[in-house]
Structure 1
Amino acid sequence: MHDATRDVPAPARRAFLRYSGALGAAALSSSPAACSWGPESTNDIGGHHTLTAVIGYGNDGSWDPTQTASAFSMAANNHIYEGLLDTDPISRKPYAALATEVPKDLHGTSWTFTLRSGATFHDGHPVTADDVLFVFDRILDPRAPTLVTGFFTSWLKEVRKIDARNVELVLKFPFRDGLSRLTLAKIMPRHVFSRPGGWDDAVRGTAIGSGPYRQSAHQPKSNTVLEAYARYNGPRPPAFKKMNWLSIVDAAPRVARISGSGAGAQVADNIPYADIGHLRRDGLTVAGGAGMNNLFLMFNTGHRPFDDVRVRQALQYAIDSEKMVKVALRGHGRPSTSFLDEANPAHRRARTVYGHDPGKARRLLREAGVSGLRIELLAVNVSWVVDCLPTIKSSWDAIGVRTALSPQETTAVFTKLDQKQDYQVVAAASNPNQFGADADLIMRYNYAPQNLWMRYARWADHPVAERLFADMDRATREPDPDRKRTMIQDCIDVVAEQAVLYPVVHNELMTAWNPARLTGVRAQPYPGINLLQAKWA
């Protein structure tokens, strides 16, 4: 995520993928002595003391906890850093991490936290209230908003220091969902990251926290090594002496690393659906997590005719999403019935649901006065997204829309968007569940006035968008949980109707592990792994 010092440009001027994890990081600068940046091999290291994990995403994105959306670094940072509170990776229930307890009064506008006695960063420095203020001041600084800024500024007024071990969070209004969001404010050492260039070091890979594991080696595009931190005294002690996380984006070598007689890894995420059967026959456990993970379409509303809602709706109605689930996802997904996935507690079937209706799609195009439309569909080259693209093309071709598919490296796609190059439609993958599961947070990930996604879509200044953002703010402030949920669902109805950035399908993410070697592994409904409760079998 981002940096609140003058050393880092504001996000409006920073390329999105530099912190979201799709752009490669520059060569790493030296880090403090607690982290040795040696050229660790991607082979298994440390014998039976080392857990080897295979992550299906790049480790060369930003490692700044306040700025990153990189699946690899977010997952690793959950082992390296702590928030005042952290959350269970599945239930998302908050638990005391750096703080000694979870606040009990959820109706007030002040939460006081005491830091855990004896908590230290990986370089040996004690964690203090100044470190907490350092992180929150950055998140709340309007001059340099971070990626997580939108998850805090609507409800958090300020953070005050009481003394060296106590801080007070002052809320603008009672907001119980804020407890689970505190895990997004990972506490970072002020003495490290406040120095000149410190935030750039965080972007490039320097990671020094107070969590159970310290980063001991980091090779962008290859692997990152985490070692147990001997002085950790928190609630989730390390179970592994060393973990070697391999970054293997291509599916075939990733699957090969965990399967067969030569398997060198014990756990892997992002398992292709076609490999589930043979991995299970090899004795591995393969489990899925159904959540917000989705293939979405984003339209450039500044490029005619996509400024016309009827055209956007027509292209959604045209897609045979049932076929997409059956053929491309092999049954591991569902056509979208809302912006939220159906497992979300706040899910309500949207007022507008895009079932396969090519007749309606043709009629909407006629009403919009559009004929002979040609589309270049710009898409990320994530393997399962690429598998879905032929269904989109055949569906659009069937209603007379000549479609050319243009899958590219994720970096290339978002570089074009960051450079404000013209485009028509983008197909990509998204999963706000990396940040949390509450509906307000999920909506704000994609829809907010200063949101990068809205800038990409050229829609933030539209009158409907302005009304939507105002309604979202009112929903955030609503104290009654049932009324709040209804208000957010009403906002989602607007998002569904407008179809500016909207999911076509929600799908499962698959994780595989060797049950003869590991216990306590749970499949997540979002990218990455969490091994804070896992141990050797």
Structure 2
Amino acid sequence: MSSTNERMFTRRDFFKFSGAFGAAAGLAVAVSACAPADTNSSAGQASTGADASALNEDGTITAAISYELGTNGYDPMVTSAALTVAANWHTLEGLTEIDAATGETYAALASSMPTANGTTAEVQLREGAKFHDGTDVTAEDVVFSFQRVLDPANNSLYASFIPFITDVTAKDDRTVEFTLAHEVGVFADRLAVVKIVPKAAVEADPDAFSANPVGTGPYRMTENGANKTIRFERFDDYTGPRPARAAKMEWQIIPDPSTRTNALQSKTVQAIDSVPYLSIDQLKATDTVESVQGFGLLFAMFNNEAGNPFADVRNRQAFLYAIDMGKVIQTGLSDQATPATSFLHEEHPNYKRAANVYSFDQARARELFAETGLTKMRLLCTDHDWVRKCTPLIQESLVAAGIEVEFTEKKSADVYNTIDGVPGAYDVVIAPGDPSVFGTDPDLLMRWWYAADTWTDTRMHWKGTAEYEQLQTILAEGLEATDSATQEQKWGEAFDLISEAVPLYPLFHRKTPTAWDGTTLVDFKPISVTGLTFVGVGSTK
């Protein structure tokens, strides 16, 4: 790191301080998702806001973020908490990156957009790329970054996104060669899931790296949020395509929705994420507010462990039929969501209506529950502010269907700490999620939940079932398909299978409202899930 006087936290410090004010948003609540270009908002279009001619290149961007720090720190090999992933967007880079607002994939550390020639691909690093500690980025750093993600011993969630990469080698200091198991059309897009880190720094002190990451992005972190503020400053040696347009950024961590809203109205900050649905009209009087429809969802995850009542698919399906989703969305979310009719939301370019659609049907729910004899369940829910508007209504629907509900609400990280590797810990979990931060193709979105062991084995205990094995085959066939028609067919088969087995399934796909000061932020764009991105954004302040 540079010689500035910022405090350096170890991972032990990081956990101690972040634990004092709660754990982070849960895994898969990834920030700033890359919304498909066909969303029903103007995200990705030229934003209306402050005049670029008034840009202050020495200015500071201020924001309030709703999600708290994750327990895994900032290490991009393992973190998937909302806040840390958002911060990493600004401080770390992959060989490619995906624009959070438009979904566009562009060359970042790669000198040009990578392409695969059959089962091999060579990628050149951009000229003059440096890490924040002043060291040059080398091909060995790239190899190290991919190997640590692919190493099963590291249990990286991102390994499931790149199963087709079988080897990564350095041909020279600036050239990396990839060997692929088969041809794949999403090669360039998938490279974005692996952020390139300095081998020397990570190996020297992995805890220090996780607490204060060293990257190549347009900003470097100077304060890591342990005291509820994350600070960044412009990285002057950045050589990439999207340099910082402000000298500094300050993000306040404000989980409380009222406090976050007040911070914007008082001009303490210039932007906030996760606008409370009931505050949208209020904020429109003073600021710019926009809701973006995306993939981001609230899901029900069932305990498929043998002996649990939800190992019986009839109980899983009955649960979904029992919920009055129209009431949940209207009352809890002010109509800022759409009920799930498939794994994907209807605006997604690869959407296909699933074979099974769980419209509200309490008679059918009661019938299925009667067949299995289920009369009570344990419902474990996360406590995100907007989720808390929905879960009591979900409980109400289940009670109306004749089910006694033991309702427990915990912080997101506490939910997963409770259930991970403990098969008897729960019956049903309700939580938000959105892996579209890493890409929007259906294969990637499905692999997040239905291929990685963390979810299929450690959490939902679905791995090893006939349906699990069938889905892995379908996903592999879709990924290996060289024509779009076959790919679409396989994805459709997967949607149908998931809608029948429902080991984990969307309840709805939500719109995400963001609010910002359009008079001081230049080229700001809202995105489709919780989080904010200031890549390419400037300030007049």
TM-score tier, shorter chain, comes to 0.7 to 0.9
- Tell me what 1:134 maps to: 144
Q: 1:47: Cα distance to partner?
A: 12
SS in 1 for 2:386: helix
- Tell me what 2:442 maps to: 439
- Tell me what 1:193 maps to: 202
2:240 is the alignment partner of 1:266: no
- Tell me what 1:10 maps to: none
Q: Deviations over 1:167-216 (max 9, x none)?
A: 11222112121211211111111110022xx333333x221111110111
Amino acid at match of 1:241: A
2:470 is the alignment partner of 1:467: yes
Describe how 1:55-454 pairs up with structure 2 within 5 A. 55-61=65-71, 62-103=73-114, 105=115, 108-152=118-162, 154-195=163-204, 198-203=205-210, 205-220=211-226, 222-259=228-265, 262-282=266-286, 284-302=287-305, 303-368=307-372, 370-371=373-374, 373-420=375-422, 421-448=424-451, 450-454=453-457
- Tell me what 1:36 maps to: none
Kept in 1: contact 2:90–2:535 (CA 8 A) = yes
Amino acid at match of 2:192: T
Structure 1 residues 100 and 208, CA, compared in 2 at 3 Å: closer, same or farther?
same
Q: 1:349: Cα distance to partner?
A: 0.5
Kept in 2: contact 1:60–1:220 (CA 8 A) = no
Amino acid at match of 2:508: V
Q: Deviations over 1:52-85 (max 9, x none)?
A: 1111111344201121111111111111011111
Q: 1:222: Cα distance to partner?
A: 0.2
Aligned equivalents of 1:240, 1:84: Cα separation in 2: 24
Amino acid at match of 1:376: R
Q: 1:326: Cα distance to partner?
A: 0.7
Amino acid at match of 2:209: A
Q: Where do 5+ consecutive residues of structure 1 fail to align?
A: 1-6, 8-17, 24-45
Kept in 2: contact 1:445–1:451 (CA 8 A) = no
SS in 1 for 2:357: coil
Structure 1 residues 391 and 169, CA, compared in 2 at 3 Å: closer, same or farther?
same
Aligned equivalents of 2:219, 2:457: Cα separation in 1: 37
Kept in 2: contact 1:379–1:426 (CA 8 A) = yes
Size of the alignment, in residue pairs? 490
SS in 2 for 1:382: coil
Describe how 1:476-515 pairs up with structure 2 within 5 A. 476-515=479-518
Q: 1:536: Cα distance to partner?
A: 2.2
Structure 1 residues 412 and 335, CA, compared in 2 at 3 Å: closer, same or farther?
same
Amino acid at match of 1:286: V
Aligned equivalents of 1:530, 1:47: Cα separation in 2: 18
Kept in 2: contact 1:119–1:233 (CA 8 A) = yes
Aligned equivalents of 1:20, 1:468: Cα separation in 2: 31
SS in 2 for 1:254: helix
Structure 1 residues 187 and 304, CA, compared in 2 at 3 Å: closer, same or farther?
closer
Q: 1:314: Cα distance to partner?
A: 0.8
Q: 1:300: Cα distance to partner?
A: 1.0
- Tell me what 1:522 maps to: 525
Kept in 2: contact 1:393–1:404 (CA 8 A) = no
Amino acid at match of 1:129: A
**Bigger CA drift: 329-338 or 154-163?**
154-163
Kept in 1: contact 2:24–2:68 (CA 8 A) = no
Aligned equivalents of 2:194, 2:444: Cα separation in 1: 14
Amino acid at match of 1:140: L
29, 52, 60: which is aligned to 1:50? Answer: 60
Aligned equivalents of 2:183, 2:320: Cα separation in 1: 38
Q: 1:91: Cα distance to partner?
A: 2.8
Kept in 2: contact 1:66–1:184 (CA 8 A) = no
SS in 2 for 1:297: strand
Structure 1 residues 406 and 497, CA, compared in 2 at 3 Å: closer, same or farther?
same
Q: Under a length normalisation based on structure 1, what TM-score does the superposition of the two structures give?
A: 0.87
Kept in 2: contact 1:93–1:180 (CA 8 A) = no
SS in 2 for 1:359: helix
Aligned equivalents of 1:413, 1:442: Cα separation in 2: 22
Aligned equivalents of 1:531, 1:219: Cα separation in 2: 17
Q: 1:453: Cα distance to partner?
A: 4.4
Q: Where do 5+ consecutive residues of structure 2 fail to align?
A: 1-10, 12-21, 28-55
Kept in 2: contact 1:129–1:164 (CA 8 A) = yes
Q: 1:242: Cα distance to partner?
A: 0.4
Aligned equivalents of 1:238, 1:22: Cα separation in 2: 29
**Bigger CA drift: 400-409 or 183-192?**
400-409
Q: Deviations over 1:396-436 (max 9, x none)?
A: 11121122321122232111112514211111111111221
- Tell me what 2:44 maps to: none
Q: Deviations over 1:266-288 (max 9, x none)?
A: 01111111111111101x11112
Structure 1 residues 536 and 480, CA, compared in 2 at 3 Å: closer, same or farther?
same
SS in 2 for 1:301: coil
Q: Deviations over 1:230-282 (max 9, x none)?
A: 111211011010000111111111111111xx321001111111111111101
Q: Deviations over 1:29-71 (max 9, x none)?
A: xxxxxxxxxxxxxxxxx99721111111113442011211111
- Tell me what 2:31 maps to: none
Q: CA RMSD in A?
A: 2.2
Aligned equivalents of 1:212, 1:228: Cα separation in 2: 6
Structure 1 residues 523 and 503, CA, compared in 2 at 3 Å: closer, same or farther?
same
Amino acid at match of 1:54: A
Aligned equivalents of 2:58, 2:152: Cα separation in 1: 48
Aligned equivalents of 1:122, 1:366: Cα separation in 2: 61
Q: Under a length normalisation based on structure 2, what TM-score does the superposition of the two structures give?
A: 0.87
Structure 1 residues 22 and 322, CA, compared in 2 at 3 Å: closer, same or farther?
closer
Aligned equivalents of 1:86, 1:136: Cα separation in 2: 15
Amino acid at match of 2:484: P
Kept in 1: contact 2:303–2:460 (CA 8 A) = yes
Q: 1:92: Cα distance to partner?
A: 2.1
